[in-house]
Structure 1
Amino acid sequence: MSEIKRSTIFSGKVASPLRLADTVSDAIAAALLEGSIAPGEALPPEGEIAKEFGVSRPIAREALRQLTSAGLVTTQQGKVARAKALSGEPMDKIYGYAVRSSIKSLKEANEMRRVMETGIAKLAASRRDADGLALMRKALADMHSSLGNPQEFTEADIRFHLGMAMTTGNSMIRIQIEGLRSIQTQVSEIFSTRSTRSMDDWRRTVARHQDIFKAIEAGDPQAAEDRILAHYEAADVASVEVAEDSRGGNP
């Protein structure tokens, strides 16, 4: 019985004996990101990968380990490796370790998000992807219904900003915002539980998000940028209040 010949999946061959595992993992990653292998689909066996690239099994094994660490592949003992959908999960884990509830980390997190989301808001207002707008709209409704509940409000807040990223229609921006989930969670929870947090303050937070949504929905990039900047100015004030809480109210 003749062997069925399998078509080549990966583009590119190993050109240098140096850092072979990196070269192999780069080629496999390109196939995953180009859609040659769909999320959830099994990759070829380790031996077949080694044969296709002309490398040893240990090199193929190391390439798969690199892809697993990057969050592009899932592997289990005794089972084939499978492709994963590209997401911000690896970055989220790193930020989760990095961010802590100190005034310094809060300021740095707000500064980073301000820089990113001013551009995101403008692009979202220009693109207005329907799915992203729908997620923002639903998140706003959930924020209204969860006033006074830090955990539920935080989840709605995260979905709002993810929706804004999706409204750009840019998958790389969506992944980047997914990678900030740990930061968003910690910042939102700390702000929501500070001693000065009144019900009026909760409502003002929702109103700022509503203003951002309206500017994006209306297709006004400049207004969207202005509303985001106003939102983060309020976050800076909240950071000072959190710092005062941590010092017991002492100046």
Structure 2
Amino acid sequence: MTEIPERKPVFTAKPPNPSRLADGVSDAIAAALFDGRISPGEPLPPEGEIAREFGVSKPIAREALRQLTAAGLIFTQQGKVARAKALSGESMDKIYGYAVRSSLKRLREANEMRRVVETGIARLAAERRDPEGLEIMRQGLAGMLASVQEPSGFTAADILFHLGLAVTTGNYMIRVHMESMRSVQREVSELFSRRANRSDADWRATIDRHQAIYDAIAVGDADLAEQKIREHFEAADIASLEVADKLKDAER
């Protein structure tokens, strides 16, 4: 009789706390996703196998997978095994999107969050200067130049530039966080671009501010990078919120 080879355990975890079995199982599976033992697109073990490996019931294993699906770490289809997803900011981006569209107060708060977060990111980007991120920033600048007077294309290029800013830090978690703020970036950029009186000089000034940020990071000047991104937010994002105020007044 042919012996079935023993499968190497996928998860390395202590037995979960009995009062929070599903949480313990989902934490262990998430750890396997984050440290690369399970790659994006790779199938997870079947529900029954997960239950056996952790010594829990199938309903507990099912609940753990449900938690991971809700968090955006795996995706499931009826009748098929769950598969790992690449870590992204998709879930939080949806939440931020709902928030910034709900009221001007939340939009202002989100904009303030960006100023705080991206100031630190710019400094780290200047210190690290990851080549992949610098190339993405250059692509964003090129896209802005090609999309003057074309708001949707300009907004997409703007978002790409700021993603590149995060990638230039070489910090994957910062990259994910920047992805989670795309809705905030899109809302502010689109508001700014909707100004009826926006001239070619206005578009060019926006590009110049981004270029200044890139130049400071490319030469590794962290102080200058921080200064330039602060100037960018003062000139661009605050102006966008003023536009939003005017739009709200018009609606009234």
What TM-score bracket applies, with the shorter chain setting the length?
Answer: over 0.9
> 2:139 matched to which residue of 1?
138
| TM-score normalized with structure 1 length | 0.96
Number of equivalenced pairs: 250
Q: What SS class does the counterpart of residue 39 from structure 1 fall into? A: coil
1:239 counterpart = 2:249: no
- Partners of 1:203 and 1:214 in 2: CA distance: 16
Q: What SS class does the counterpart of residue 23 from structure 1 fall into? A: helix
Q: Which moved more, 1:83-92 or 1:96-105?
A: 96-105
Residues 15, 66 of structure 1: alpha-carbon distance in 2 compared, 3 angstrom cutoff: closer
- Partners of 1:102 and 1:159 in 2: CA distance: 25
What is the CA distance between 1:192 and its match in structure 2?
0.5
Residues 49, 86 of structure 1: alpha-carbon distance in 2 compared, 3 angstrom cutoff: same
CA contact (8 A) 1:21 1:63 kept: yes
> 2:177 matched to which residue of 1?
176
Residues 28, 247 of structure 1: alpha-carbon distance in 2 compared, 3 angstrom cutoff: same
Residues 248, 15 of structure 1: alpha-carbon distance in 2 compared, 3 angstrom cutoff: closer
Residue identity in the other structure for 1:98 = A
Alignment of 1:2-81 (within 5 A): 2-81=3-82
| CA-based RMSD | 1.5
Q: Which runs of 4+ in 1 moved over 3 A?
A: none
> 1:84 matched to which residue of 2?
85
- Superimposed CA distance per residue, residues 115-149 of structure 1 (whole angstroms, 9 cap, x where no aligned partner): 00000000000000000000001110110110000
State the identity %. Answer: 61
Residues 17, 202 of structure 1: alpha-carbon distance in 2 compared, 3 angstrom cutoff: same
Residue identity in the other structure for 2:231 = A
In structure 2, stretches of 5+ residues that fail to align are none
CA contact (8 A) 2:188 2:240 kept: no
Q: What SS class does the counterpart of residue 90 from structure 1 fall into? A: helix
Q: Which moved more, 1:49-58 or 1:96-105?
A: 96-105
- Partners of 1:245 and 1:17 in 2: CA distance: 54
- Partners of 1:216 and 1:116 in 2: CA distance: 16
CA contact (8 A) 2:71 2:91 kept: yes
Residues 34, 132 of structure 1: alpha-carbon distance in 2 compared, 3 angstrom cutoff: same
> 2:152 matched to which residue of 1?
151
- Partners of 1:106 and 1:74 in 2: CA distance: 30
Residues 238, 187 of structure 1: alpha-carbon distance in 2 compared, 3 angstrom cutoff: closer
- Superimposed CA distance per residue, residues 196-233 of structure 1 (whole angstroms, 9 cap, x where no aligned partner): 32221111101100000000001000000000100111
- Superimposed CA distance per residue, residues 17-60 of structure 1 (whole angstroms, 9 cap, x where no aligned partner): 11100000000100110101111111100000000000000000
What is the CA distance between 1:249 and its match in structure 2?
11
Residue identity in the other structure for 2:242 = V
> 1:212 matched to which residue of 2?
213
